[in-house]
Structure 1
């Protein structure tokens, strides 16, 4: 586990990735939503000092788009970041031709570029929504393969790694939003707690105490397919992305103060 930065060291944290890192699904009443924003707040509280935060993640991005676009922008921030979190590959799992080795080779080149700039890189595996999705078994198998590859990659390079994909609590329906593809505020907070522990030696994430979700009715299932599955299929057929035309939520540094100073 990586050592906690000295309290006097500046922390400039930027997240890159897809909808997971952008924070889609988190409509909670927090100053910086999404697990990445919640992590920034957690870092400020844990280190008892302000944290500079940027988030360049955009929904719908494939891993190549994250590494070829957002990473360059992250490294070009002024002043330079001290910490980058990367989570990608979730959208790749939903495409034909999914190849872990190709993704890993791209990640290796990106990690080399980050290391050359003296910036800390932390990796997260994508959250696994497969328990309640069509083609869930295929997505789960691909997610496990990617998480296993990331585990070895992070170990070999000495990088912090948060294995969100295989966290048993996050497979429960209670942590997911209505679209079943993005986490709700409970899920995003769980990931932020796991990340704070792994990246900055924060407290170990507590076992969540959440009531079981009520079973869904036939009419609710039909609404789910109408409101979420059909539009997703339509975008795939027409070659569009949910992130088309979107810009980063926090494209430059924003100061995140500890809770006592907010």
Structure 2
């Protein structure tokens, strides 16, 4: 009987220790894994790789909070503002090809841009650095008070900012604005004669085998896609389903 109790104690002790800490060959990976395990409410997937070898791959949280559907390592997430990184990569690819330079004004590629001051003074570099002075359509009354179903493409957002005055003179200060990268997306389309999403798919995602990455329309049924959540403006510390669509950011 004593041996049985001792054996059960060992099993319980080992199970508790295993739940508390995870160990990997790489010490840094172990530290990251244990840190992620300790987070309360973290939702997403994490992959750590070194020299083309995957050291860590794990999913956390829920793809659907209401039904408690857990994320898995193949879950699709809309990349939202991470898309700015892909846009910047695309711009520098075009710079390498000699099709654009950092000092080019947006008017070179968008000659019909409504605001002449912006057309002639805002450069590609200022757009990349969020120093253009372009208005923030994302928080405009017109954008906030209209159905987001109308904004599914880059072009559909044009009337929200093109005719608006600059917030400040170009390169005068930093102001993070989605508008900057929307215009970079338009520049990419003007140069390549391709839809933005298609260019990113062919020149970035397909090259690095990113098969489950995209910016999905949230009102469509996408296989194995997570719902999008954001913090509620009405209820403190509560999550709500995001109301935005799939236009490039």
User: TM-score when scaled to structure 2?
Assistant: 0.23
Q: Which structure shows the higher helix fraction?
A: 1
Higher relative contact order (CA 8 A, sep 6+): 1
Structure possessing the higher radius of gyration over alpha carbons? 2
TM norm structure 1: 0.22
